[in-house]
Structure 1
């Protein structure tokens, strides 16, 4: 798949649903069972969805991340997706209520470097579209100079489609782009993220890392 030289934002762009959250520790086991036994499959089965992936961070205060790739942003305006989003199962409703400090974003995908899924990812909160535009050309240069970098992409949230979940504080809501770096080793993803953040003048706190829990391809259902 060809890489992009500009940040993608149109409805024809590939999409990703991005859910980044903490959860009530008392219900964490049920939260993980729900994700693994119901929610991942439900989303991957929606027409236009390509895959579902779950991640976990050992260091981030918001430790759970789920990503869902779609054919385009238009999938999120389809009747099938609307029904899935507005008519949740009882198990889903219970677990959504247990989430804390959640970020739900529907984003256009800009392919910056490589292809494939790594054992872990580094995530950089870019702050603004202007910074995302500066980050794009850095990805290829720094990834090629590092070991084990599989791919890199920038996610740019769509303000209309990124409907917040009840557990998000909307008074301080920032629809910032994210840079995600996949690598064979989490340590290598972190090194690349730190180098990019330094060149962009971003603080260390803008960088986070996650281990891949599992991946579900729509074609496997």
Structure 2
């Protein structure tokens, strides 16, 4: 089974709506996305200096990473997600699908590639 991430950059629709944006993202959107087959977890990051986009990293485990993203996009197109106008949609979010090629666990002091024992 392949592992990867779906990287997404978004912005609140206005600075004064950031709290509403964060609440919707954390309590509505992340659970919606993670209900799609293949999406197994998520993390969100905000710019440390307050400048720049917010980033969501969705973890994927699936035989076909692109197929998992296609299921996500189909659910979005079908109106299955509860969206909010607290998220900026113009321009649209920046997205990127990345496959896992190596992990490094500092505590275990080892590096491995998927499929290695």
Could you say which TM-score interval applies, normalised by the shorter chain? 0.5 to 0.7
Rg (Cα) greater in structure: 1
Contact persistence 1:22–1:100 (CA under 8 A): no
Which structure shows the higher helix fraction? 1
Residue 52 (1) aligns with residue 45 (2)? no
Structure 1 Cα separation of the partners of residues 52 and 45 of structure 2: 11
In structure 2, stretches of 5+ residues that fail to align are 112-117
In structure 1, stretches of 5+ residues that fail to align are 1-11, 117-143, 145-150, 152-221
The number of residues matched between the two structures is 105
Question: What RMSD over aligned residues (CA atoms) do the two structures have, in Å?
Answer: 3.1
- TM-score normalised to the size of structure 2? 0.68
- TM-score normalised to the size of structure 1? 0.40
The Cα shift of 1:43 comes to 1.1
1:96–1:13 distance in 2 versus 1, CA, 3 Å: same
Structure 2 Cα separation of the partners of residues 64 and 47 of structure 1: 24
Contact persistence 2:11–2:53 (CA under 8 A): yes
Structure 2 Cα separation of the partners of residues 33 and 99 of structure 1: 20
Residue 83 (1) aligns with residue 74 (2)? yes
